[in-house]
Amino acid sequence: MTHQFNTNRVYELPFGRGMKWGNGWNGPLNAIAGGWTLSGLARWSSGLPFIVQNGFDFPTNWELNGFGVLNPGAKPKTGVFTDCDGDPNIFAGLKCGASASPGDFVSTNWHFPFPGEAGNRNNLRGQGYFGIDVTVRKSWKLTERQTLSFAGEAYNVTNSVRFDAANAFPTIDSAGSFGKYSNTLTRPRVFEFMLRYSF
């Protein structure tokens, strides 16, 4: 990753006894609306590198099949795009129709390595990561030794989807599946609730 930003925060909401607002609240109102804490994490990163594979062709030896070689002047655009099958794809410009095929896009941008060539490694980047997690908490002191605590947590609050470039596996000898995403870096939004009694 060339860039990464991480943040974390803890904030006591200013409501309830001893706070800026609600210092005079009675017992029931303070028990419901006072004393809440908001916390969370956030992370953003730039795109992860990936390799365009050569496929089952072996220009070097029987074990190492090498990588595709980017043609001079070729600058394929990467990100998240829809391919001819309606699937999410890492590459833009995969044209559909009777007069075009994914193979045209592949041959325009890459060629198989010649004997002795190893190809290009990690010269393209896919999506990065983005996620925000949030937690709200509150505790009630029941007696000197007894406490009831509640927490509500939300993971990936924005329900953002980031695809994993490392699992796209584009190979220049498989034009039909070239650049199709098969996995994500993120998980769907999830809520979790906790109630704890301590004594």
Categorize the per-residue pLDDT at 24 as very low, low, confident or very high, splitting at 50, 70 and 90.
Answer: confident
Q: pLDDT band at residue 116, thresholds of 50, 70 and 90?
A: confident
Residues 168, 174, 175, 176, CA torsion sign: negative
Report how far residue 40's alpha carbon sits from residue 8's, in angstroms, rounded to the nearest whole number: 6
- Whether residue 158 lies inside any domain: the answer is no
Instruction: Report which of residues 118 and 161 the model is more confident about.
Output: 161
Give the tokens for residue 174. Answer: 């498989």
DSSP, collapsed to helix, strand or coil, labels residue 53 as: strand
Residue with more model confidence, 158 or 118: 158
Check residue 97 and give its pLDDT: 61
C-alpha 48/C-alpha 175 separation (Å) is 22
Contacts of 64 (CB under 8 A, 6+ apart): 58, 118
Q: Kindly report which listed range (65-69, 113-117, 170-174) carries the lowest average pLDDT score.
A: 113-117
Residue 12 lies in a domain: yes
Q: Is residue 157 part of a domain?
A: no
pLDDT of 188 reads: 95
Q: How many domains does the chain have?
A: 1
pTM of the prediction?
Answer: 0.76
Residue 118, amino acid: A
Q: Beta strands 124-125 and 130-141: pairing type?
A: unpaired
Asked if residue 159 is part of any domain, the answer here is no
Q: What does each C-alpha distance from 88 to 21, 48, 97 come to in angstroms? A: 49, 17, 18
Percent composition of the chain: helix, strand, coil (DSSP 3-state, to 5)? 10, 35, 55
Question: What values do phi and psi take at 85, rounded to 5?
Answer: -90, 0
DSSP state of 45: E
| Residue 160 domain flag | no
The mean pLDDT value of the chain amounts to 87
Tell me if 161 is assigned to some domain.
no
Residue 176 has pLDDT above 70, yes or no: yes
Of residues 154, 65, 166, the one with CA closest to residue 125: 166
- Residue 54 belongs to what domain range? 4-152+166-198
- Domain for residue 24, yes or no? yes
| Closest alpha carbon to 92 in 105, 77, 106 | 77
Q: Is residue 184 part of a domain?
A: yes
Residue that has been written with the tokens 């009694």 in this structure: 197
| Average pLDDT of the residues in 104-108 | 86
pLDDT of 60 above 70: no
